[in-house]
Amino acid sequence: MADHNDGDSFVLYRYNPSLAAAAVFVVLFALTTGLHILQTIRKRSWFMTSFIIGGLFEFIGYVGRLVSSNDRYALSPYIMQTLLLLLGPALYAASIYMILGRLILLTGGEPYSLVRRTWLTKIFVGGDVISFMMQGAGGGIMSSGASGMKTGEKIIIGGLFVQILFFGLFFVTAIMFQMRGREYLLSLGSSVPWKRHLFALYATSILILVRSGFRVIEYIQGNAGYLLRHEVFLYVFEAVLMFAVTVILNVSHPGDIAILLKGQRMEQPSDDSAERGVASKGDR
């Protein structure tokens, strides 16, 4: 086995993975993802399912790093942590895209959205699926070893750029929705907590964009790059940021939007009910 600092060879880890750091984030992601599962079931917000799967990816990914701390040459835990930590945020993104569409529906602010609400989720989740597939394929090729390292890196970089492109467009769409509908949204008062949920979207979007930028630089530098030689960067720009994303949406859980939307539907009589009501008045 080549020395882990030999820049000319493909090496699984160029440092000894930290047992303590991995253990901390195994526990943290277990707690926050477990809470998301409970919140999603209680509030029946099934559109958060992909977010939960993303949290499980993060949890299992750090389990992989925990195992690697005892044997950094073992291939299976390396592949596990490489793929799952790479793909988890793409699953987070899928649910975040759906949140904006439901928030627009809740506020009745579709005229102020740059993209029709019915198309918004389709466009951005579609881009996310493309990004997910590219990163997954690239990660799979890279995990095969040195022979596929360069090809896998290029595919992953392409997938990350797709993710950044669509997330950037999504971020602009969310900001423009607030700017164009500012007076209307303010007129809603406190009955619709749009500001809390929209600001949560801003925060989580920025965190994922920063993380994706870090990953692009990491893969451009390659297996022997500075970022992959120092484990601390993974925890600062991956673990901490993605944990923050999960906690923000624990605190401002999108299931509250689902509950309010259900309340709105119950308050609005169906067309058939309205017609029957008019007919009965006419009979009298």
pTM of the model: 0.87
Look at residues 193, 231, 9, 229 and name the one whose alpha carbon lies nearest to residue 107. 193
Q: What is the pLDDT of residues 231-241, one digit of tens each?
A: 999 999 999 99
- Among candidates 61, 41, 15, which has minimal Cα distance to 243? 61
pLDDT 10s digits, 196-207: 999 999 999 999
Q: 132 pLDDT band (50/70/90 cuts)?
A: very high
Domains along the chain with CATH numbers: 19-265 (1.20.1070)
Name the residue among 7, 46, 187 with its Cα closest to residue 112.
187
pLDDT in tens, 53-93: 999 999 999 999 999 999 988 889 999 999 999 999 999 99
Query: Helix, strand, coil % (nearest 5) of the chain?
Result: 80, 0, 20
- The span from the first CA to the last CA of the chain, in angstroms, equals 91
The candidate with the shortest Cα–Cα distance to 257, out of 192, 183, 203, 205, is 192
Residue of 207, 254, 260, 230 whose CA lies nearest to 100: 254
Phi (first) and psi of residue 243, to 5 degrees: -65, -40
Type of residue at 40: T
Classify 263 as helix, strand or coil. helix
Which tokens in the block code for residue 158?
């392409």
CA nearest 78: which of 175, 145, 24, 131? Answer: 145
What letter represents residue 36's amino acid? H
**Average model confidence (pLDDT) across the chain:** 88
CA distance 257 to 78: 39
Section 136-162 average pLDDT:
83
Listed range (7-11, 20-24, 204-208, 234-238) with the worst mean pLDDT: 7-11
Residue 2 confidence (pLDDT): 40
